[in-house]
Structure 1
Amino acid sequence: MSRTLSLLLSFLLVLSLGIYLLYNGGLIVWLGTASWYQGAFLLISLLAGLGIHLGSRVLKRNPLWEQGNESLYIILFLLIWGILSGYSYLLEFLVNDVLKESIAENGRGLVLKGSVVGLILAIIIVWINYSWIAYAQFSKKTIQHLRNERNKEELQYKLLRSQLTPHFLFNSLNTASNLIATNPDQAESFIRKLAYNFKHLIKNGIQPLNSLEQELKIVENYMHLMKVRYGDKVILENRIKSEALDHQLPALAIQLLVENALKHNVASQEHPLKITITADRDKVVVNNSITRKPEQIPSIGIGLNNLKARYKLYGKQQISIQESQACFYVNLPFIFPGLAE
């Protein structure tokens, strides 16, 4: 609302109260007796309207106003009621001071009437302001919630698409083909694990959150496939406390970090890649040893940035990354949906 419109509405509010009080007291003819009376009446109405306008603007500039702070609304209520009561007193004083005593008898109840009407008007105005802010907050939260849900679905889709890359399937089928010729029993186990892995990727990848226990099962199945390719060059070690198994993480978060470790390092018999997963009641820590980096690292743009973005949608907790000469650490705080913003 513009300043001019706000001032005009405040002035009209006060002016309407003044006309009502004079009409109710049978004093409306007083305004037509002399231009001086009319000027004084308009002046005190303008001053009262200006007081309400300026006072309300000061309150609405406070950052807490948009948050529905109750104390500011109480101050607004007292401001409006006080100014309207004071205006009624000035109006009664003006009437009694300039009119004949026989006529002025009708003006001695203006203060009481003005205070009662001012009280009602103050309640209505504060209620309208508070309801408007409450509705605006509700609308903002609803829109933000819908936007977050849409972003979560988009990030989940991108993550799932990254897990189902043709490159991974091509390598897995080549490995299965070689095993069929050299070790049929292992080939059968590998193919079953591959099918199981894709089944769980599709099932759990579309869920926004998984329990730590589910995440570990996905990683263990994935590492079974990787063991066939890498053998003892890759070592996975879990140090998980049982009380943490039911806590939740963004879907496929741990597998993403394990894949990154394999992708950004070259494992060998002399320098095996060791991946360690630890968890307590607050977080999961995935760390891997740093070996020689591959010369070319193919990427489709899905990784830590996706994980950071998904965490951001669930609240203030964020992943933290630490790197030393020998190890790379990623801390994943657990997400508790009831506490998430």
Structure 2
Amino acid sequence: MSRTLSCILSFVLTLSLGIYLLYNSGLIAWLGTASWYQGAFLLISLIAGLGIHFGSRAIKRNPSWERGNESLYILFLLLIWGTLALYSYLLENLMNYGLDNTNLETSLGLTLKGSIIGLIVSILIVWINYSWIAYSQYSKNTIQHLRNERNKEELQYKLLRSQLTPHFLFNSLNTASNLITTNPNQAESFIRKLAFNFNHLIKNGIQHLNSLEQELSIIENYMHLMKVRYGDKVIMEKRIKPEVIQHQLPALAIQLLVENALKHNVASQEQPLKITITADHDQVVVTNTITRKPEQIPSIGIGLPNLKARYKLYGKQEITIEQTPSCFYVYLPYVSHSNSSK
């Protein structure tokens, strides 16, 4: 609401109360013949209106107003009621003074009437303001929740799409084809693991969260495929506390970090790539050694940014990334069920 409109409405409120009180007391006709008192009546109505206007603006500038702070609404109620009661008192004294000069007996009771009506009007105004703020806050929260849910689905879709890239599928099928001719027994195991891995990708890629136990199962099957491809060039170690395996993580978070390690490092017999997964009560840490970088790094722009964005949707947790000359560390805090529902 603009300042001008707010000021006009405040003035109209006090003026309307004054006219009603005078009409109820049968003084409208008399006021029409007393020009000096007409100006005084308009002046105190304007002053009271300005008092409500500036007082309410000062209260509403408080950041807690939009959050429905009860004490501010009580103060707002007292401001309007007190101003209207004082206005009624001044109006009664003004009328008494004018009527005394005409030698008429007066017992108007404008203060009491104005206070009662002012209280009713104040409660109504505060109720309307509170209801409007509550509805606005509810609407904002609902819209934000829907946006977050849509963003989660989009991020999950991008993650799943990144895992099912033709490049990964092409390499896996080539590996399977070579194994069929050179080592049929291992080929059968590889194809079964490949099918299991894709099944997990499709099933878990559309979920928001997995338990650490599920994540480790996925990475175990994934690393079986990578072992066929890289052999002893890639070494994985897991240091997991058994009591934390049911803690929650964003789906496929660990596999994404392992894929990044394989993509950004060249593994060799002389300089193998070592990946370590450590899980304690606070977080999961995925560490990989840094070897020589490949000449070309295939990427579709989905990786750590996707994981960071998903963490933001789950609450205040953030992943932490550290790098030394020899190692790359990513710290993944657990996601609680309460945060995941936000």
Q: CA deviation at 1:25?
A: 1.9
2:339 is aligned with 1:335: no
2:322 is aligned with 1:313: no
**Kindly, what percent of the aligned residue pairs are identical?**
78
Partner of 1:134: 134
Task: Give SS of 2:321's match.
Answer: strand
2:177 & 2:195 partners in 1: Cα distance?
15
Task: Give SS of 1:181's match.
Answer: helix
> Cα 1:321–1:233, aligned 2, differ >3 Å: closer, same or farther?
same
Q: How many residues align?
A: 340
- The root-mean-square deviation of aligned C-alpha atoms, in Å, is 1.2
Checking the alignment, whether the CA contact within 8 Å between 2:41 and 2:91 is kept in structure 1 is: yes
Checking the alignment, whether the CA contact within 8 Å between 1:26 and 1:106 is kept in structure 2 is: no
Alignment of 1:1-341 (within 5 A): 1-100=1-100, 103-107=104-108, 109-339=109-339, 341=342
1:12 & 1:323 partners in 2: Cα distance?
67
Q: CA deviation at 1:104?
A: 4.6
> Cα 1:102–1:241, aligned 2, differ >3 Å: closer, same or farther?
farther
Stretches of structure 2 that go unaligned for 5 or more consecutive residues are none
Report Cα offsets for 1:25-68 as digits up to 9, x if no partner.
22222211211111111110111001001111111122221121
Checking the alignment, whether the CA contact within 8 Å between 1:160 and 1:201 is kept in structure 2 is: yes
Report Cα offsets for 1:48-92 as digits up to 9, x if no partner.
001001111111122221121222111111111110010010011
Q: CA deviation at 1:292?
A: 1.1
Task: Give SS of 1:322's match.
Answer: strand
What is the TM-score with the length of structure 1 in the denominator? 0.97
2:117 & 2:246 partners in 1: Cα distance?
60
> Cα 1:104–1:137, aligned 2, differ >3 Å: closer, same or farther?
farther
Task: Please tell me the residue identity of whatever aligns with 1:110.
Answer: L
Report Cα offsets for 1:130-155 as digits up to 9, x if no partner.
11111111111111111111111111
Checking the alignment, whether the CA contact within 8 Å between 2:99 and 2:106 is kept in structure 1 is: no
2:334 & 2:121 partners in 1: Cα distance?
51
Q: CA deviation at 1:224?
A: 0.4
What is the TM-score with the length of structure 2 in the denominator? 0.97
Q: CA deviation at 1:294?
A: 0.9
1:296 & 1:90 partners in 2: Cα distance?
85
Task: Please tell me the residue identity of whatever aligns with 2:178.
Answer: N
2:127 & 2:197 partners in 1: Cα distance?
58
> Cα 1:328–1:305, aligned 2, differ >3 Å: closer, same or farther?
same
2:193 & 2:129 partners in 1: Cα distance?
62
Stretches of structure 1 that go unaligned for 5 or more consecutive residues are none
